Amino acid sequence: MCQTCPARCWRSGTRTRCCAVLPLPDESADAALALHMLYHAADIPKAIAELARVLKPRGLLIASTNSTRDKIALDQFWSRAAADVLGIPEGPRRVSLSSRFSLEAAPALLGASFTDLAVRELPGVIELTDPAPAVAHLASYEAWADQLGVPPHETLQRAGEIITAEVDRHGSFRIGCLGGILTGRPLHRD
């Protein structure tokens, strides 16, 4: 975890280090986990090179992230709400944090420092009969309000109305999810 994290997770009191400078010697770790976090790194190639640096030559990297196709239903609710609030036909997209290191982009980014790359897709479906968890998820993006291009509170309220109407009409709604795990071993260093 890192003090640059907009969500300020570091306030939990957990010991924190930035992934750009890991407190480990070269070639010292058997394995490294980078689970749903590389997309937060200010300099993603540097963070990836740092993971490769600390891994032993046959060490294992396990990273995870989301596909660009993850939770599209929530993106659509948000865009519809933003369009209504702004009074325009099509509202701005929701901030996509993981698109900086998406499942589709990750192999090329990791390939600069890792070999033997494998990708395992993890598809799923969330079916909700209560709008609250979806609204809470959208609300968690408040930390990035300055990037939303739309008034966050009004948009969130409108999104809640749209999602509630969807539940009232159909009894539930489904959110298709697509995440994935990537594994790799550090490229040989001369």
Ligand X SMILES: C[S@@+](CC[C@H](N)C(=O)[O-])C[C@H]1O[C@@H](n2cnc3c(N)ncnc32)[C@H](O)[C@@H]1O
Q: Which residues contact ligand X by CB under 6 A?
A: 1-2, 4-5, 9, 18-19, 35-37, 40-41
Of the pair 41, 110, the CB lying nearest ligand X is at 41
| Gap between the Cα atoms of 86 and 82, Å rounded | 6
Of the pair 32, 82, the CB lying nearest ligand X is at 32
Least distance from ligand X to the Cβ atom of residue 62, Å: 11
> Residue 60's closest CA among 34, 22, 31, 35?
31
Of the pair 62, 88, the CB lying nearest ligand X is at 62
Nearest residue (beta carbon) to ligand X: 2
Task: Say which DSSP state 127 is in.
Answer: E
CA 62 centroid distance within chain: 15
Least distance from ligand X to the Cβ atom of residue 136, Å: 15
Of the pair 9, 162, the CB lying nearest ligand X is at 9
Q: Which amino acid is at 39?
A: Y
Number of neighbours of residue 19 by Cβ within 10 angstroms: 22
Least distance from ligand X to the Cβ atom of residue 165, Å: 29
Q: Given the structure tokens 């999602």, which residue do they identify?
A: 163
Of the pair 2, 95, the CB lying nearest ligand X is at 2
- CA distances to 17, 81, 86, 106, 146 from 151, in Å: 33, 11, 9, 32, 9
